[in-house]
Amino acid sequence: ARRLVDRYLAAHPDGGWLDPTATADLLDCYRLPLTTTVWAPDEHSAVLAARGLRALGHRNSAVLKAYWPDQVHKSAAGAVRTGLGTDREVRDAYREFTAAHGSRMAGAVVQPMAAPGVELLAGVVQDEVFGPLVVLGLGGTATELLDDRAARLAPLTQADLPAMVAELRTAPLLSGRPGNPPVDLPALHRVLAGLSRMATDLPQLAEVDLNPVIARPDGVLCVDARIRLE
Ligand code: ADP
Ligand code: MG
């Protein structure tokens, strides 16, 4: 992880947002569960990537996301297309992106469509005074509507992990009830612990934003990640 960060900062002395490939590599160092994310620099690569995902047994359709440096809110900018089931749908979506976003678009990523669950956000932010904070909250489209978050200074203790989950108003959606199994809480705790380790290892880590992390009884999976270095 340190080598990856040093290499990035040597090439970008002012820091900034990592590209999709470096983002995936850094998350992998901490076993943070990003869904399969294939970089596709052009239309043909995107079609092949989606075909590859189908061949790997991802029966669900594909997701295509246009990428350009410093993008903020992809879905608001019309850069996310879900539910692409065929080569033609992937190709048409890529062409629509090219037409809409033009030359600023550096390429796209292809992901398998994840199964639905509770959409959470998890991440790291820097507090000017206290240093890195690990954050957990309600994610997806509800992020701005209901500001439901818990935050703790890194490094997190073992006791912080369930405490952060319990602190959310969303907690009843996660802990289950009769006829409704709980989400995989140990997997969610591992995400928080991984973020904590990442924040303490890497002083250059300015911001990590995993949103959504989709929490389900059979595991948790992040489908959108952004990392900024300073
Ligand atoms: P942004 O947050 O930049 O708008 P996202 O990549 O988070 O873009 O996509 C927006 C929404 O689309 C997500 O909150 C999620 O609900 C849905 N989504 C994105 N990627 C996937 C995926 N691979 N599988 C299922 N749903 C997805
Ligand atoms: Mg997102």
In this prediction, residue 76 carries a pLDDT of 93
Which strands, in side-by-side order, build the sheet including 62-67?
A: 38-40, 107-112, 62-67, 80-84
SS3 state at 137: strand
What are the structure tokens assigned to 117, written together? 């669950």
Question: What band does 182 get if pLDDT is binned at 50, 70 and 90?
Answer: very high
Q: Which residue of 34, 60, 63, 73 sits with most ligand 1 atoms within 8 Å of its CB, as the best mutation to test the pocket?
A: 63
In this prediction, residue 178 carries a pLDDT of 84
Q: Contact at 8 Å (CB) between 145 and 180?
A: no
Cβ of 35 closer than 6 Å to ligand 1, yes or no, is yes
Cβ of 101 closer than 6 Å to ligand 1, yes or no, is no
**Residue-wise DSSP of 115-129:** PP-EEEEEEEEEETT
Q: Contact at 8 Å (CB) between 199 and 154?
A: yes
| Region label for 208, one of left (φ > 0), alpha (ψ between -120 and 50) or beta (otherwise) | beta
38-112 has CATH 3.90.550.10 classification: no
User: Residue 113 CA: which ligand 1 atom is closest?
Assistant: 24
Tens digits of per-residue pLDDT, 34-61?
Answer: 999 999 999 999 999 999 999 988 877 9
Q: Which residues pair with 34 in a beta bridge?
A: 222
The pair phi, psi for residue 82, each rounded to 5°, is: -105, 165
Q: Which residues pair with 196 in a beta bridge?
A: none
| Beta pairing, strands 219-222 & 38-40 | unpaired
How far, in Å, from the CA of 109 to the mean position of ligand 2? 14
Q: Which residue of 71, 223, 226 sits with most ligand 1 atoms within 8 Å of its CB, as the best mutation to test the pocket?
A: 223
Tens digits of per-residue pLDDT, 140-162?
Answer: 877 777 889 999 999 999 999 99
- Extents of the domains making up the chain: 2-33+116-229, 38-112
ipTM score: 0.99
Range from 45-59, 108-122, 135-149, 205-219 carrying the lowest mean pLDDT: 135-149
Are both 2-33+116-229 and 38-112 of the same fold?
Answer: no
CATH of domain 2-33+116-229: 3.30.470.20
Tens digits of per-residue pLDDT, 54-106?
Answer: 998 887 799 999 999 989 899 999 999 999 999 999 999 999 999 999 999 99
